[in-house]
Amino acid sequence: MTNEAIPNLTAFNEAALDQAFAALEKQASDGAASLDGPEAVEAYRLQWLGRKQGRLNDVSSRWLKAAPPEAKKLLGQRFNALKKHVEDLLDQASGAGPSDAALAAEAIDITLPGTRRLTGAEHPITRTLHEITQVFAALGYSVGVGPEVETDYYNFESMNFPPGHPARDTQDTLVVANQERRPLRDRLLLRTHTSPVQMRTMERQAPPVRIIIPGKVHRNDAADATHSPIFHQVEGLCVDTNITFSDLKGTLDHAMKALFGSSVKTRFFPSFFPFTEPSADVQISCIFCGGKGCRKCKQSGWIELLGCGMVDPAVFAFAQEKQPAYDPKKISGFAFGMGVERIAMMKYGISEIGQFYAGDMRFLGQFV
Ligand code: DAH
């Protein structure tokens, strides 16, 4: 890099000035021609434009200051032209960037298709859960949740499973260890169903209530093709004045048609749950054979899908401890509970419940 000292000027006429500035422009151009990277460009910028040591600063202090007043204008014009020349050279040099070869190596072909990134998708269980919730939300139900670690009181006692009652044996329960010193009602367990959230809801809210409760539940069941110790349920509860079994039938018939198609039929079979009286199991006409009878419905034409019933007055009596308005003489209600995995398996033709939890992308990728 040339860095000859700026000579002193002896003559200030136009010809002398032209010659002096032409020499500097040439030096500037020569210097800029060999710049080979951002560091060299920066050194060049300092060399010419640096505030204290830069050559233009030198020109200004040696020539401008020494110039007789009548030459100052001519000198100033040339000085500005030189400055612009250096700045242009710098712009070019810093814009030039890497060599053509380096550029070619890095070039991207914008005509090639892009790399498609996988966006996530709802897990089929979550999706089914949302679908069910949606059907009831459209009927004016709100959505509630409750804890998965529940007390014996909410999971069993307040749902009318008294301590020691054989109905408790129908739900093989995982309990939290080392709680023998607590009263039974306060002992913790993993909820075996979403029904306890019925009571939690009623304790917080006087009637009318219309609520749907999606959630995860746990049972000490061995896993097989259709059972998993952890699964999902959607609970429903409707309490108001004059709620009848017809309301229950109409609501669930509508929900099944919304979920499985308008041609499905429903039928209600007497059943037993401690927290409903009367209780029923709901069957839908087989969605695989349309009711004619096939392997899936064991030739019966019907598939059992959920439990339901009219809320037992004993359950309202527990709710009345916190909310006196749940007076079974004045209000009535229905409840229902359904297994999400079972519904998802039917909707999507899945025969192994374990597929939902295996995390196999070949399976999950089908639901994108
Ligand atoms: N909690 C029951 C179970 O897990 C399902 C159920 C049946 C819920 C009837 C209800 C109901 O609310 O009315 O087996």
For the chain, give the mean pLDDT. Answer: 93
Is 118 within a domain?
no
Q: Is the pLDDT of residue 362 over 60?
A: yes
pLDDT interval class at 60 (50, 70, 90)? confident
Is 347 contained in some domain? yes
Indicate the SS3 state at residue 265.
coil
CA angle 214/153/196 to nearest 5° reads: 15
Task: Tell me the best of 200, 235, 268 to mutate to test the pocket of ligand 1, counting ligand atoms within 8 Å of each CB and taking the most.
Answer: 235
Q: Which residue from 173, 251, 279, 308 has its CB within 8 A of the most atoms of ligand 1, so it is best to mutate?
A: 308
Confidence of residue 346 (pLDDT cuts 50, 70, 90): very high
For the residues 206-228, what does the mean pLDDT come to? 96
**Count of domains observed in the chain:** 2
Asked if the structure places residue 2 within a domain, the reply is: no
**Domain closes at, from 80, 106, 132:** 106
Q: Kindly state whether residues 86 and 189 are assigned to the same domain.
A: no
CA of 350 to the centre of ligand 1 (A): 23
Residue 5, in any domain of the structure: no
Kindly tell me the burial class for residue 149, based on how many C-beta atoms sit within 10 Å of its own C-beta (0-12, 13-18, 19 or more): exposed
Residue ranges around ligand 1 (CB below 6 Å): 193, 195, 235, 273, 276, 307-309, 335-337
Residue 272 shares a structural domain with residue 157 = yes
Q: Please tell me the distance from the alpha carbon of residue 41 to that of residue 58, in angstroms, as a whole number.
A: 20
Q: Do 137 and 219 share a domain, yes or no? A: yes
Domain-located, residue 258:
yes
- Residue with the bigger pLDDT between 239 and 91: it is 239
Range of the domain at 72: 14-106
> How crowded is residue 320: how many other Cβ atoms within 10 Å of its Cβ?
16
- Nearest protein CA to atom 7 of ligand 1, as residue: 307
Percent of the chain's residues with pLDDT above 90? 70
My answer on whether 41 and 161 are in the same domain is: no
Indicate whether 114 belongs to any domain.
Answer: no
- Verify that 323 and 279 share a domain, yes or no: yes
Provide the pLDDT for residue 106: 82
Tell me the average pLDDT across 142-153.
98
Domain match, 135 and 217 both: yes
241 and 299 co-located in one domain: yes
Residue 177 has pLDDT above 60, yes or no: yes
Nearest CA to ligand 1 atom 12: 336
Distance 292 CA to ligand 1 centre (A): 28
- In the predicted model, what is the mean pLDDT of residues 282-304? 93
Q: Are 206 and 323 part of one and the same domain?
A: yes
Let me know whether 136 and 254 are in one domain.
yes
Predicted confidence (pLDDT) at residue 146 exceeds the cutoff of 60: yes
Instruction: Label residues 104-117 b or e (16+ Cβ within 10 Å = b).
Output: eeeeeeeeeeeeee
Contact 275, 198 (CB under 8 A): yes
Q: What is residue 121's predicted lDDT score, i.e. its pLDDT?
A: 87
Res. 174: pLDDT tops 90: yes
Q: pTM, whole model, 2 decimals? A: 0.71
Residues 6+ apart with CB under 8 A from 210: 139, 140, 141, 142, 237, 238, 239, 240
Query: Residue 7: what pLDDT?
Result: 86
What's the CATH code of the domain at 243? 3.30.930.10
Question: In whole angstroms, how far apart are CA 33 and each of 37, 76, 86?
Answer: 12, 26, 12
Counting ligand 1 atoms within 8 A of each CB, the residue from 193, 277, 332 with the most, and so the one to mutate, is 193
Query: Which residue's alpha carbon is at the smallest distance from atom 6 of ligand 1?
Result: 337
Confidence at residue 81, expressed as pLDDT on a 0 to 100 scale: 92
Which of 17-26, 141-150, 232-241 is the least confident region? 17-26
Residues 43 and 173 in one domain: no
* pLDDT for the residue numbered 1: 52
Shared-domain flag, residues 260 and 226? yes
- Report the nearest atom of ligand 1 relative to the CA of 275: 13
